[in-house]
């Protein structure tokens, strides 16, 4: 192994054998990539990565993303050998390790910090959840953007607080996924020189050699994106690996892709079954032969030779601790000179809001013509963003339609450095901008937003609701990680009209409601929008989806109907029978609430005691206590009608088996919005008729 000492080689082989033993003991997992990529990961961590193992949440640490999440055993071995401490959430004492030997020995088992794929929040040192290929590298672009923005916004002469680098180790599968192409294209356009993807090119995927499907020139593709492309012909060549990583460190004008040619680990040299090597344990006999080949005792399991951990501590550990200490000294002096900025940085790290963040929220007067909830949202967003400097984001080429452009002074646009400043740190016309142009890259946009949130920023990402189908992978991982990303989805129903069924969401509401951890809010009017943003901004461990209308919705008279503050509880009584004892309940969210109000007025005029329940967020409602839920939806009232221009799935939970559900049971129609709504029965006559039919049927339990 060129330029590697015997101790280097011993450390690399220790990483390999720990991965082999973890996978073998679990009888599950992927030993091949950890074996083949071990020299690459070792070179990065031991010679370059700036990370304090005693402070895994240090804001200016370098980020390492294992995009090849199936190689998790390699990451866990590194965390153990480097002595990375558990973070505050999981540590019982300051000495606790993020990954213990017991964790390694219980790889892929319940209760272990060594899960099948890396899970953010469970194990310190795991910067983002990975596994679905392409997600890690795409998320790393968001981390690189965050560093660039933080540096441009907060660094000052003599006080470089944010200059960390972002590394992602990826493989052939990552390169095939479309989301990685979207993200790489944007990263090249933005000239993110702090970003390095290390492509472990081993020419193997589950079905066999990548040559059966993947024969493009990846390097040429990335060069066309505007990346610097470096080649390392042999993963075991420490000299070339070091040269490539140093070249990246010295580059100032573009991101870097290092293509490292490796051979996936097959166990002993004679083994050539790629399926077993990639996706299955080696087997007892092959494990013994492989350990002998590496010079290890074939009968010893989870062996860590003397000197290995000390070697990591003397390089990786000491470099990170020294850098962190110097940063802490610098930040203390910075705090004295720039106390307001220091406080902002502190609040970002805690996911806390500035005092008075909601002081300038608008209120909307009653108006029968009303305003589209997307328009109201744009006003609220700008009011909040003016008070929360790290609230930033954009749309997938749809900001004019989603109303997500920040229009106040100093918001600016995040764009490639103009060359007039000093690189990533401080060109105020570029990397300090808070408006992002993601291009027509919905999937990458959402993964990038996750990377920004993982770095302490509060990002929003926007598109038409129907196009969430293009980015579900990234959204699902954000929910899994508990990231407070704000999604703004507009054009929420068939009422958008002429663009037709390809643009009219039907099943999306039901699918988002089914996603654990996702807070979905579909406000009914402008004042519910205000309250929705108030709820969303206070979320610290959940993403939120604001689902908004293109068409104007009446702004309800809150002197006549209940206050919009009821939105915070997910559902509330908006209009009620005079005596508070309704005979029929009308339930709706968003655009259809006004329709129920119109039906309520007609029913009331006809002497029918009705109640309108606005249900902007099922999940928030389900978190209320039983007494409150009963007060809104009394079990004794069996006559119920739900109205929502989307899939009926789930509404039976609230109207019961015998309730009426006015919903969509097909895709939409290309026609003016009002025509489409009437065509599918979303009008006052149908709601009133459904209410009367409910009242006329024999009394049955819901």
Q: From CA 87, how far away is CA 123, in angstroms rounded?
A: 8
CA distance 426 to 109: 47
Alpha-carbon span 477 to 120, nearest angstrom: 10
Question: CB–CB of 573/600 below 8 Å?
Answer: no
Structure tokens at 628: 């409150």
Q: Please provide residue 552's backbone torsions phi and psi, each rounded to the nearest 5 degrees.
A: -65, 140
Cα dihedral angle (565, 568, 571, 576), rounded to 10 degrees? Answer: -20
Strands 552-555 and 367-372: antiparallel
Give the containing element (helix H, strand E) for 209.
strand 208-209
Read out DSSP for 107-152? TTSTT-SS-SS--TTTSTT--S---STTHHHHHHHHHHHHHHHHHH
274 in Cβ contact with 72 (< 8 Å) = no
How big is the chain, counted in residues? 702
For the chain, the C-alpha Rg in angstroms (whole number) is 28
Rounded to 5°, angle at Cα 380 from 378 and 385:
95
Going by C-beta distance under 8 Å and a sequence separation of 6 or more, which residues neighbour residue 309?
A: 81, 83
Cα–Cα separations (whole angstroms), residue 452 to 132, 135, 316, 336: 19, 14, 26, 27
H/E element holding 8?
A: helix 6-26
Angle between helical axes of 6-26 and 284-294 (0-180°, round to 10): 170
Torsion of CA 29, 89, 59, 534, to 10 degrees: 110
Residue 123: CB atoms within 10 A of its CB come to: 24
Are 662 and 642 spatial neighbours (Cβ–Cβ below 8 Å)?
Answer: yes
Name the residue among 484, 561, 576, 498 with its Cα closest to residue 524: 561
SS3 695: helix
Rounded Cα distance, 20 and 286, in Å: 10
Q: CA of 414: how far to CAs of 192, 373, 571, in Å?
A: 12, 26, 38
Sign of the torsion angle spanned by Cα atoms 233, 235, 237, 241: positive
Contact present, 408 and 433 (Cβ < 8 Å): no
Kindly write down the DSSP assignment for every residue of 141-206, as one continuous string.
Answer: HHHHHHHHHHHHHH-BTTB------EEEEEEHHHHHSHHHHHHHHHHHHHT-TTEEEEEEE--EET
Helix (H, G, I), strand (E, B) or coil at 483: coil
| C-alpha atoms less than 13 angstroms from C-alpha of 261 in its C-beta half-sphere | 8
Whether 543 contacts 489, CB under 8 Å: no
Two tokens, residue 624: 């209320």
Concatenated DSSP letters of 16-33? HHHHHHHHHHHT-S--HH
Given the residues 119, 127, 425, 442, select the one marked as catalytic: 442
Q: Does the annotation count 442 as an active-site position?
A: yes
Q: Give the residue numbers annotated as catalytic, written as ranges.
A: 442
């Amino acid at each position: 192994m060129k330029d590697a000492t015997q101790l280097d080689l011993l450390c690399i082989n220790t990483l390999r054998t720990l991965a082999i033993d973890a996978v073998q003991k679990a009888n599950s997992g992927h030993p091949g990539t950890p074996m083949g990529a071990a020299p690459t990961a070792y070179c990065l961590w031991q010679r370059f990565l700036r990370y304090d193992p005693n402070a895994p949440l240090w804001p200016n640490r370098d980020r390492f993303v294992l995009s090849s999440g199936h190689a998790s055993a390699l990451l866990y071995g590194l965390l153990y050998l480097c002595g990375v401490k558990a973070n505050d959430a999981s540590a019982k004492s300051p000495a606790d390790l993020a990954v213990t030997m017991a964790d390694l020995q219980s790889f892929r088992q319940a209760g272990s910090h060594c899960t099948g794929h890396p899970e953010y929040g469970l194990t310190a040192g795991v910067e983002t959840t990975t596994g679905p290929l392409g997600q890690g590298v795409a998320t790393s672009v968001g981390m690189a953007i965050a560093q660039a923005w933080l540096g441009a916004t907060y660094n000052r002469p003599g006080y470089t607080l944010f200059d960390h680098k972002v590394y992602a180790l990826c493989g052939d599968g990552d390169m095939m996924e479309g989301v990685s192409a979207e993200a790489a294209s944007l990263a090249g356009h933005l000239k993110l020189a702090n970003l390095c993807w290390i492509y472990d090119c081993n020419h193997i995927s589950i079905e066999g050699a990548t040559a059966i499907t993947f024969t493009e020139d990846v390097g040429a593709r990335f060069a066309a994106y505007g990346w610097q492309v470096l080649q390392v012909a042999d993963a075991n060549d420490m000299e070339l690996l070091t040269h490539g990583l140093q070249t990246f460190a010295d580059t100032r004008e573009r991101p870097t892709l290092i293509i490292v040619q490796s051979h996936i680990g097959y166990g002993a040299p004679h083994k050539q079954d790629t399926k077993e090597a990639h996706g299955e344990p080696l087997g007892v006999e092959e494990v013994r032969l492989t350990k002998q080949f590496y010079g290890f005792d074939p009968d010893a399991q989870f062996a860590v030779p003397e000197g290995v951990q000390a070697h990591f501590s003397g390089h990786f550990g000491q470099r990170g601790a020294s850098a962190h200490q110097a940063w802490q000294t610098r930040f203390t002096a910075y705090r004295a000179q720039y106390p307001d900025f220091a406080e902002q940085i502190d609040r970002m790290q805690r996911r806390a809001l500035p005092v008075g963040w909601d002081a300038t929220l608008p209120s909307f007067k009653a108006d029968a013509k009303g305003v589209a909830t997307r328009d109201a949202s744009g006003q609220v967003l700008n009011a909040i963003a003016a008070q929360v400097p790290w609230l930033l984001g954009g749309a997938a080429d749809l900001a004019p339609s989603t109303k997500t452009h920040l229009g106040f002074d100093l918001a600016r646009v995040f764009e490639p450095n103009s060359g007039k400043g000093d690189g990533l740190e401080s060109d105020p016309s570029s990397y300090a901008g808070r408006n992002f142009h993601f291009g027509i890259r919905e999937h990458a946009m959402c993964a990038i937003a996750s990377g920004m949130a993982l770095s302490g920023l509060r990002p929003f990402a926007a598109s038409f609701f129907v196009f969430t189908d293009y980015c579900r992978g990234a959204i699902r991982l954000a929910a899994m990680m508990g990231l407070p990303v704000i999604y703004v989805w507009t054009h929420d129903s068939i009422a958008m009209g002429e663009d037709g069924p390809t643009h009219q969401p039907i099943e999306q509401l039901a699918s988002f409601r089914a996603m654990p951890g996702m807070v979905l809010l579909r406000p009914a009017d402008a004042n519910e929008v205000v309250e929705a943003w108030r709820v969303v901004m206070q979320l610290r461990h959940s993403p939120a989806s604001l689902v908004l209308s293109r068409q104007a919705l009446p702004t309800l008279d809150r002197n006549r109907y209940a206050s919009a503050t009821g939105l915070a509880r997910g559902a509330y009584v908006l209009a009620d029978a005079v005596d508070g004892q309704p005979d029929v309940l009308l339930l709706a969210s968003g655009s259809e609430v006004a329709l129920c109000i119109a039906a309520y007025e007609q029913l009331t005029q006809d002497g029918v005691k009705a109640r309108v329940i606005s249900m902007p967020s099922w999940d928030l409602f389900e978190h209320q206590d039983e007494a409150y839920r009963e007060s809104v939806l009394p079990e004794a009232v069996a006559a119920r009608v739900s109205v929502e221009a989307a899939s009926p799935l789930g509404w039976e939970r609230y109207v019961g088996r015998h309730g009426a559900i006015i919903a969509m049971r097909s895709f939409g129609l290309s026609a003016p919005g009002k025509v489409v709504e009437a065509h599918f029965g979303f009008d006052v006559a149908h709601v009133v008729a459904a209410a009367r039919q409910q009242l006329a049927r024999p009394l049955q339990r819901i």
